[in-house]
Amino acid sequence: MQAIQSPDEYAELRNSLEFWEPHARTAFDSAGLAQPEHFTVPGESTNPVLVGDNGFVVKFYGEHWCGPDSLATETEAYQVLAGSGLPVPEPVARGDLFPGGEHWPWPFLVCTVVPGRAWPEAIGKADRTTELALAAHAGTLLRGLNDLPLTGNALLRPDSPVFAELLAERRAVTVAEHREWGYLARELLDSLEEQLPDVRELLGAPAFVHGDLHGRNLFVDAERAELTGLVDFTDVYAGNPYYGLVQLHLNTFRADRELLATALDVAGWAHGPDFARTMLGFTLLHDFDVFEEVPLDLTGITDYAELAEVLWGLE
């Protein structure tokens, strides 16, 4: 492998099929798996991911873009998920492309491929009944994740401080970042610091949180109206499970509040009078640019309570 010398070079190569296919075949040989006839790159991702047509997928973890942390997080998540019955990949091998060397070893995980198609691809021609059925399945998934025992050895323990630290770090920078992103009105941003909740108000009882439930991580069979898979466990926490609703609602559901209400009702999660304001707090403190795919013009909203209602109001 040619050395990847910088984060910028990694960014250019991370989703290149031509660059990664030889290394994917090396990983499959190392794992004792039959070689697929073809590999595909499923889309843009932080870590290099190649899907074989033999039912297995390989993910590589570089030294850039938090690769070591992502490997540790995903490995621990799969340990907690083992035997849960949830529709998630099954890890079958872990190894290094270059073990024992003096340079980065390029660790990898090989997992089974989940069936179905990514939510945005599958939902395009679905009718409303199918959309609501899939939202209900998403609610079942939320309930299943919430019920997982936090048996991890580091991040996914009830006493893990990582989720609280994340919210505190985000609170310190979120106003500046939202000014840069430009989705919200200047008048709202001018008072945002005073409106943001105290981090301690958002912690709650810790549970398994998947912080990136966007549509490209959720797989469905639209014809059967079934949710068939959840992938990518690099952004998981022991924290408040409502944090996981941000990407699910604003990205996957595209801010459709009927779909959100359906999922919450099936999950058995409360959404009382304080729900919208609490969820706006999680939205503004989220680790990602979550307004990017919201199909609403929010620039005319200058009141915090109004923004909460527009995005999250269910009452």
Residue ranges of alpha helices (H) inside 82-161 are 119-123, 128-146
Asked if 98 and 105 count as a contact pair (C-beta separation under 8 A), the reply is yes
What CA–CA distance (Å, rounded) separates 51 from 29? 15
Asked whether residue 171 is assigned to any structural domain, the reply reads yes
The per-residue pLDDT for 8 is 86
The per-residue pLDDT for 129 is 97
Pair (166, 248) in one structural domain: yes
pLDDT digits 0-9 by tens, 42-83: 988 889 999 999 999 999 999 887 889 999 999 999 999 999
Asked if 5 and 21 count as a contact pair (C-beta separation under 8 A), the reply is no
297 in helix, strand or coil? coil
- 49-52 and 56-60: which strand pairing? antiparallel
Q: Which of 147, 212, 221, 297 is catalytic?
A: 212
111 in helix, strand or coil? strand
Which CATH number goes with the domain that contains 45? 3.30.200.20
pLDDT digits 0-9 by tens, 72-119: 999 999 999 999 999 999 999 999 999 987 788 999 999 999 999 999
Give the range of the structural domain holding residue 67, as residue numbers without chain letter: 7-112
Residue type (1 letter), 116: G
Q: Is the pLDDT of residue 1 over 60?
A: no
Q: Is the pLDDT of residue 3 over 70?
A: no
Q: What is the pTM of this model?
A: 0.95
Pair (130, 106) in one structural domain: no
Sign of CA dihedral 210, 212, 217, 222: positive
Pair (168, 287) in one structural domain: yes
The whole-number average pLDDT for the span 216-222 is 97
Asked whether residue 78 is assigned to any structural domain, the reply reads yes
110 in helix, strand or coil? strand
Residue at token pair 């198609």: 117
- Judge whether 212 counts as a catalytic residue: yes
Pair (177, 302) in one structural domain: yes
Asked whether residue 2 is assigned to any structural domain, the reply reads no
Pair (189, 74) in one structural domain: no
